[in-house]
Amino acid sequence: MTAPQHHPIVVIGAGIAGATIAREIASRGHAVCIVESAGAPAAGCSNHAYAIAHPHISRGSPKLLQLTRIAFELAYARWGDQWVHRGALQPTKDGIAFDGAVIAQHLTQLGLPTTTAYPVAAEEAEQLSGVPRAGVWFPTAGMLNLEKTTTQLLLPCEQLTQLYHLRIEALHREGDRWLLIDAAKKITISANTVIVAAGLSSKQLLSSIQIKLPLKAVRGQLSFFQINHESSWAARLPSAIICGDGYCIPASQCDKGKMRWIVGSSFDEGEDDLIPRDESDRFNQEQAAGLLNYAVGNLQELVPDGQFVGVRCVAGDRLPIIGALPQRPGVFVATALGSRGILWSALAAKLIADQVLAGDFALLTRLGFTSALAAALAPDRFLAGALPPSLGVLASNSKPILPSESRAR
Ligand SMILES: Cc1cc2nc3c(=O)[nH]c(=O)nc-3n(C[C@H](O)[C@H](O)[C@H](O)COP(=O)(O)OP(=O)(O)OC[C@H]3O[C@@H](n4cnc5c(N)ncnc54)[C@H](O)[C@@H]3O)c2cc1C
């Protein structure tokens, strides 16, 4: 029997999360091996060409808002020069009067400088986005092709080993090493550190070491609409990203002499099939009308002409799961990225690389990342057992994972 290949650090899953983490570790000069069940990177939810990123300013816990601010800064620093579109408008909700001063104060309280977010009245919003709706303008928000980005992150480099067509079914501890066991029950790899970034499959993988995480599938569909130039929608289509309840990207001319407009996304809890659905297109037509505040628009004129369907992985409390598993020394997790794959991958790469490589957390600390925020992301929050996961992010008897305490090799 041949001995398993040994790699000090192995990342399982070559989606945007695993690829960003592997690249971060390699760029710090450490050897890292990434293992993927498919034949190429971005075969799962990251097979997505139209993902947007901006900090979040409304719904959500204060921790979530702080985390998205920090994560957006990291994502912008990493990928801002690759944004496909630049700038996004988040219109004020219907029925809420726009008050620029109040919004500006709120943005300041969230720690967002005007270079990142500022209030805009309807006239300015129209100039910036083609949509005359007052709200908040994010000048540095953007869109990223996750598939392309994942592939670029994994361009060959000396420190990076890549193994495809290898599905890891289970982990097993032996001495100071983790053994990675494939579908044929063969031990293919051993590692000192294993970073599980396998999306929804992380649940099954971690259950092999008796770690139960409350992960679930949420199917989502983006609709690609075709629109005739004579349609009343044509003159209203945005020239920037619009976000709110759903999102859309700027309309473009398509080769059939029509406009093409991408709008999403549906949200089907607990479902994981990838077959496009008419009902999801109808849902996205409604979202389109909501985003443009055009309730009287004829939805039949938004003609479905293609879709992207993916299955998000979400945790019980809707925050990502990023960090060390203190109960299983050497195992780290980066999953449950939900609808914020760009933001959470950027944050996961810095946090996990600092934890695995005993980094100094200086960048994260400078951005305002605290031990309380680390605890809100840590897998441990679901494992302490004092509170059911849905009640909070940190069970009362679990130890917060202070950055300085969470170093592991
Ligand atoms: C409709 C829709 C719209 C979205 N819009 C946005 C958006 O606007 N902005 C945004 O930031 N995000 C968005 N997202 C979310 C984003 O796509 C995901 O958060 C992100 O792609 C998740 O990346 P991941 O690396 O965690 O998972 P994945 O991309 O699923 O990667 C996991 C990888 O692990 C591999 N794998 C699984 N099990 C194993 C195993 N046992 N052994 C080896 N390999 C394994 C898989 O093959 C896969 O390649 C959207 C998602 C959907 C569905």
Residues 388, 284 within the same domain: no
pLDDT in tens, 15-37: 999 999 999 999 999 999 999 99
Q: Hey, what amino acid is at 346? A: A
* Lookup: tokens for 215: 């992960």
* Lookup: tokens for 211: 């770690």
* Cβ(249) – ligand 1 distance below 6 Å: no
Backbone angles phi, psi at 111, to 5 degrees: 80, 20
Residues 261, 277 within the same domain: yes
Whether residue 353 contacts residue 407, with contact meaning beta carbons closer than 8 Å, is answered with: no
Structural domain count of the chain: 2
In a domain, 58, yes or no: no
For residue 182, the surrounding DSSP H or E stretch is strand 177-182
> If pLDDT is split at 50, 70 and 90, which confidence band does 275 have?
very high
Instruction: Report the nearest atom of ligand 1 relative to the CA of 220.
Output: 1
Tell me the CA–centroid distance for residue 233 and ligand 1, in Å. Answer: 32
Alpha-carbon distance of 295 to 288, in angstroms, equals: 9
* Cβ(342) – ligand 1 distance below 6 Å: yes
pLDDT exceeds 90 at position 406: no
Alpha-carbon distance of 197 to 349, in angstroms, equals: 11
Q: Which of 264, 296, 315 is the last residue of a domain?
A: 315
Tell me the CA–centroid distance for residue 4 and ligand 1, in Å. Answer: 28
Give the residue from 238, 283, 284, 287 showing the smallest Cα distance to 259. 238
Alpha-carbon distance of 368 to 242, in angstroms, equals: 28
Best residue for ligand 1 mutational test, from 312, 321, 332, 377 (most atoms within 8 Å of Cβ): 312
Whether residue 187 contacts residue 179, with contact meaning beta carbons closer than 8 Å, is answered with: yes
pLDDT exceeds 70 at position 389: no
* Cβ(312) – ligand 1 distance below 6 Å: yes
In a domain, 175, yes or no: yes
* Cβ(198) – ligand 1 distance below 6 Å: yes
Mean pLDDT, residues 246-273? 92
* Cβ(320) – ligand 1 distance below 6 Å: no
Alpha-carbon distance of 393 to 336, in angstroms, equals: 14
pLDDT exceeds 70 at position 78: yes
* Cβ(337) – ligand 1 distance below 6 Å: yes
* Cβ(56) – ligand 1 distance below 6 Å: no
User: How long, in residues, is the chain?
Assistant: 409
Q: Which of 289, 315, 341 is the last residue of a domain?
A: 315
Domain that holds residue 349: 5-47+148-214+317-405
**Protein residue with least CA distance to atom 13, ligand 1:** 339
Tell me the CA–centroid distance for residue 193 and ligand 1, in Å. Answer: 22
In a domain, 104, yes or no: yes
Residues 210, 277 within the same domain: no
In this structure, the number of other CB atoms found within 10 A of the CB of residue 319 comes to: 23
Alpha-carbon distance of 36 to 17, in angstroms, equals: 12
What average pLDDT does the chain have?
92
Judging by beta carbons within 10 Å of its beta carbon (0-12, 13-18, 19+), is residue 75 exposed, middle or buried?
buried
Token match 């204060």: residue? 62
Mean pLDDT, residues 361-390? 83
Alpha-carbon distance of 176 to 193, in angstroms, equals: 10
pLDDT in tens, 179-212: 999 999 999 999 999 999 999 999 999 999 999 9
* Cβ(43) – ligand 1 distance below 6 Å: yes
Residues 116, 265 within the same domain: yes
Alpha-carbon distance of 309 to 243, in angstroms, equals: 19
Alpha-carbon distance of 370 to 291, in angstroms, equals: 35
Mean pLDDT, residues 346-359? 97
Strands (DSSP E) along 215-359, which ranges?
215-227, 241-244, 246-248, 252-253, 259-264, 268-269, 303-315, 321-324, 331-335
Tell me the CA–centroid distance for residue 274 and ligand 1, in Å. Answer: 13
Alpha-carbon distance of 206 to 199, in angstroms, equals: 11
Give the residue from 55, 50, 78, 77 showing the smallest Cα distance to 66. 55
Tell me the CA–centroid distance for residue 312 and ligand 1, in Å. Answer: 6
**Protein residue with least CA distance to atom 48, ligand 1:** 44
pLDDT in tens, 129-154: 999 999 999 999 999 999 999 999 99
pTM of the predicted structure, to 2 decimals: 0.93
In a domain, 181, yes or no: yes
In this structure, the number of other CB atoms found within 10 A of the CB of residue 40 comes to: 15
Residues 274, 201 within the same domain: no
Alpha-carbon distance of 16 to 43, in angstroms, equals: 10
Tell me the CA–centroid distance for residue 103 and ligand 1, in Å. Answer: 33
User: Any alpha helices (H) in 200-315, and if so which ranges?
Assistant: 202-207, 278-292
Instruction: Report the nearest atom of ligand 1 relative to the CA of 221.
Output: 1
> Of the given ranges (64-73, 90-99, 339-348), which has the lowest mean pLDDT?
90-99
Residues 157, 138 within the same domain: no
> Of the given ranges (133-142, 172-181, 378-387), which has the lowest mean pLDDT?
378-387
Whether residue 367 contacts residue 290, with contact meaning beta carbons closer than 8 Å, is answered with: no
Q: What is the CA radius of gyration of the chain?
A: 22
* Cβ(142) – ligand 1 distance below 6 Å: no
In a domain, 40, yes or no: yes
In a domain, 54, yes or no: no
In a domain, 101, yes or no: yes
Tell me the CA–centroid distance for residue 15 and ligand 1, in Å. Answer: 6
Best residue for ligand 1 mutational test, from 35, 48, 149, 347 (most atoms within 8 Å of Cβ): 48
Alpha-carbon distance of 107 to 102, in angstroms, equals: 9
For residue 168, the surrounding DSSP H or E stretch is strand 168-174
| pLDDT at res. 386 | 30
> If pLDDT is split at 50, 70 and 90, which confidence band does 384 have?
low
Tell me the CA–centroid distance for residue 340 and ligand 1, in Å. Answer: 10
| pLDDT at res. 392 | 25
Whether residue 374 contacts residue 403, with contact meaning beta carbons closer than 8 Å, is answered with: yes
Domain of 11: which CATH number?
3.50.50.60
In a domain, 394, yes or no: yes
pLDDT in tens, 282-326: 999 999 999 999 999 999 999 999 999 999 999 989 899 999 999
Tell me the CA–centroid distance for residue 313 and ligand 1, in Å. Answer: 7
Residues 139, 262 within the same domain: yes
Tell me the CA–centroid distance for residue 338 and ligand 1, in Å. Answer: 8
pLDDT exceeds 50 at position 388: no
**Protein residue with least CA distance to atom 18, ligand 1:** 341
Residues 161, 284 within the same domain: no
* Lookup: tokens for 376: 């809100």
Residues 223, 371 within the same domain: no
Which residues on neighbouring strands pair with residue 193, listed in sequence order?
9
Q: Which of 282, 315, 348 is the last residue of a domain?
A: 315
Alpha-carbon distance of 394 to 376, in angstroms, equals: 6
